[in-house]
Amino acid sequence: MKVLEGTVLASGATIGILGGGQLGRMLAMAAAQLGFRCHVYCPEDKSVAAQVCDGFTQGRWDDRDALAQFANVCDVITYEFENVPVEPLAVIPQGMLAPGTRALEVAQDRVREKRFVEDVGGHPAPFLSVDHDNELAHAVDRIGRPGILKTRRDGYDGKGQWSIALAEDAQGIRIPASGCVFERMVRFECEFSVILVRGRDGEIRFWESTRNRHAGGVLSHCELPAPAIVSEQLEAARTLARKVAEALDYIGVLTCEFFATADGPVFNEMAPRVHNSGHWTIEGAVTSQFENHIRAIAGLPLGDTACVAPKMVMDNLIGDDALDLARHLSDPAAHVHLYGKVEARAGRKMGHITRIG
């Protein structure tokens, strides 16, 4: 049975996951608890998501025949990776994709994303698109320093970004063919995420928002409760996130990242998928982001997003930090999650630990 609008996925059906990383792994584990099977599609020959799935197809993102065959064995298809090329997905019945491809089109282009957010009433940092080498100096002049130059497409965990504090910092930077965006550096007290889930019937539920800390451009730590400034700006941030989800007719878990500033929440970026800053929900919420994503795309009732305790922290295990499993497990408060990755590299997310209460 293929899931189309207004239908409910039956237990034992197959959920397709585009992307083979740890987010797909945790989605598949949540799906298995609800009696579903999962089938992963990704270009890599080894996939940590496929380790816990019923099926695995290795195929290029532009291989339309492979994508069509993959769709034939699935009942609904979702993403754990937002940079899946949209055009080849036309071979898949669009009613099977949850969320729809419009969310990918918006999130894959930083300039388009910022303009979209402005159109629904949000406030990103001041920005200008930079499509050619000779446009960078003008953008820096107009927007001001310090600022950040980011590739319009791809780039994550601090990759594809250049900090420009002095005029000479812009010298020698070559703009890629896909273009860049230059945005003003935001003065903020802390960073936070708004994570919501929207069902096929339009119902929206929110999880609590954590304070997020980064190291080297990689999320390293989340904590609840967040500082008071987050609570003060949460209603405005949630209102914007709701508008984004409704404008996209979104199905599943959606994350919007914000800077808490003296002038209110400043939109940073969105992720049309489950998110690292929501990993704490596995133990810390009545229903995790992963289970609620599966519920939403399957047309099932959404679960309670309330916290199970007033305090919690989540720490990413990055690089070699994940190797000493015995030490981590010796902490009685630690809920340890390793992602099945063999090679530990600097900046690579190998797992996470959540501590509740």
With b for 16 or more beta-carbon neighbours within 10 A and e for fewer, the 120-147 pattern comes to bebbbbebbbbbeeebbeebbeebebeb
Q: What is the pLDDT of residue 160?
A: 77
Q: Is 223 annotated as a binding residue?
A: no
Rounded Cα distance between 118 and 121, Å, is 5
158 versus 299: the higher-pLDDT residue is 299
pLDDT at 159 over 80: no
Q: Is 313 annotated as a binding residue?
A: no
Q: Is 142 annotated as a binding residue?
A: no
- The answer to whether position 113 is within a domain reads no
- The answer to whether position 178 is within a domain reads yes
Any idea what DSSP says for residue 290? H
Same domain, 164 and 308: no
Structure tokens at 323: 């190797």
Q: What is the mean pLDDT of the segment spanning 195-204?
A: 98
Q: Is 345 annotated as a binding residue?
A: no
For 119-152, write each residue's pLDDT tens digit: 999 999 999 999 999 899 999 999 999 999 999 9
Q: Is 82 annotated as a binding residue?
A: no
Domain final position from 97, 115, 146 = 97
For 76-100, write each residue's pLDDT tens digit: 999 999 999 999 999 999 999 999 9
Q: Is 46 annotated as a binding residue?
A: no
Q: Is 110 annotated as a binding residue?
A: yes
- The answer to whether position 118 is within a domain reads no
Same domain, 196 and 342: yes
Q: What is the mean pLDDT of the segment spanning 283-291?
A: 98
Q: Is 268 annotated as a binding residue?
A: yes
Same domain, 163 and 275: no
pLDDT at 295 over 70: yes
Q: Is 355 annotated as a binding residue?
A: no
- The answer to whether position 256 is within a domain reads yes
pLDDT at 227 over 90: yes
Q: What is the CATH number of the domain that holds 150?
A: 3.30.1490.20
Q: Is 114 annotated as a binding residue?
A: no
Q: What is the mean pLDDT of the segment spanning 37-53?
A: 97
- The answer to whether position 107 is within a domain reads no
Same domain, 146 and 69: no
Asked if residues 274 and 23 have their Cβ atoms less than 8 Å apart, the reply is yes
- The answer to whether position 132 is within a domain reads yes
Q: Is 214 annotated as a binding residue?
A: yes
- The answer to whether position 158 is within a domain reads yes
Q: What is the CATH number of the domain that holds 81?
A: 3.40.50.20
Domain limits at 92? 14-97
324 Cβ contact partners less than 8 Å away, ≥ 6 residues apart:
none
Q: Is 102 annotated as a binding residue?
A: no
Same domain, 163 and 24: no
Structure tokens at 279: 């990993």
Same domain, 212 and 284: yes
Q: What is the mean pLDDT of the segment spanning 201-206?
A: 98
User: With bands split at pLDDT 50, 70 and 90, how would you rate the model's confidence at 61?
Assistant: very high
Same domain, 201 and 167: no
Same domain, 203 and 138: no
Q: What is the CATH number of the domain that holds 329?
A: 3.30.470.20
Domain final position from 97, 118, 135 = 97
Q: Is 150 annotated as a binding residue?
A: yes
Comparing CA positions, the residue from 227, 255, 219, 225 lying closest to residue 240 is 255
User: With bands split at pLDDT 50, 70 and 90, how would you rate the model's confidence at 156?
Assistant: low
168 Cβ contact partners less than 8 Å away, ≥ 6 residues apart:
none
- The answer to whether position 88 is within a domain reads yes
Same domain, 87 and 156: no
Domain final position from 184, 202, 225 = 184
Q: Based on the structure, what is the number of domains in the chain?
A: 3
Same domain, 152 and 223: no
Same domain, 339 and 266: yes
pLDDT at 2 over 80: no
